[in-house]
Amino acid sequence: MEKRYEFAILDPRNLPASIEANDVVFDNPKGVYGIEITVSKLAARCVLNIDPQHTVGDVDKCAVEEALFVGLPEFGSTLATVRADLDSVGSMAIFNFRANGQVLGSGIMSRIKKIADFDKFSNGPYPGSRELPSSSNLWPEGKTGLEALNEAILDFKMSIDDRVEVMQNWLLTGLVPQTYEDRVEVAREKMVAAIENGEIKIKPVSIDDNYKINLVIVESSHFFATTLGYMLAPVVVAVNTQFRQGLGEPYLKYTICTFRQEHADINSALSELATLEPGWGGSPTIGGSPQGVSSVLDIETVVGVIKRHINRV
């Protein structure tokens, strides 16, 4: 399929090399269209930024859904994001499909819905605490069917053009290169080993004696921290001391999230955290510390804030 757009991942870090690399992207005379650009200075430079969850707090709509209907960017312009994930790369693929006149039949639309449901975490009410993965049961929670695709899209060693191509092929066929299917199983085995040897630390935090649902802290450098946390509680603080964006240096990253809005007021927690450290932001269900730099806050401070905004339901 013909490539109608340029694709790019912007660097959110305020470093000379990052600024220079971003300037190259924005040098496109046909403009840059953002997809989930959560850094305000970068979003302001875009012709348009498609980000319903973070800009207007619409947790019931994600970028891949908006990409189906918003006006097509000019051919030759750049579609850019600050984080390549299923939603942002899926949006790039959809724009390219539309620009090529690809019919979005029932198969493609069902796969788009699958990404949208995953991104919005449309899983119904919180099911309660469940068994954690173990060597005897690697997938106690079951699979979503997106594991291998997610593994491919998060592969920073692959160019963004190649990742969009993988996404387009999956939308058309439902297939992902077998190497990523294999990597998913290896990654899950490594995650279970990390749980069992204490490399991944999972710590329930009591809110008060009368509150039956606890907050969970997950300290992990694995991508599955929120998944693990939700298996024990509906509100999670994920701590990753080795968070990386592409080939950048690792840094301390916090993520705070709630299974559903009824469990915690994430927006208020993010606002309070932003008064302590500018750069915190996100949506009504998930957000985090500043992108590209280590957070200066300690875990006790972050947990103390989120505890104040948990709903006693």
Instruction: Convert the pLDDT of each residue in 219-260 to its tens digit.
Output: 988 767 888 999 999 999 999 998 877 667 889 999 999 998
Greater confidence (192 vs 1) lies with 192
Which pTM value belongs to this model? 0.79
Percentage of the chain beyond pLDDT 90 is: 70
DSSP 285: S
For 85, 135, 276, the CA distances from 244, given in Å and listed in that order, are 14, 27, 23
- CA–CA dist 128, 254 (Å, integer): 24
**Mean pLDDT confidence for 166-173:** 98
> Which domains, from first to last, does the chain contain?
6-122+160-171 (no CATH), 201-308 (3.10.310.20)
What is the model's pLDDT at position 86?
95
Best CA proximity match to 226, nearest among 250, 182, 259, 188: 259
Best CA proximity match to 195, nearest among 148, 132, 248: 132
Q: Assess contact for 251 and 148: CB atoms under 8 A.
A: no
- CA–CA dist 62, 210 (Å, integer): 36
Digit-coded pLDDT (tens) for 45-65: 999 999 875 555 555 778 999
Q: Assess contact for 119 and 64: CB atoms under 8 A.
A: yes
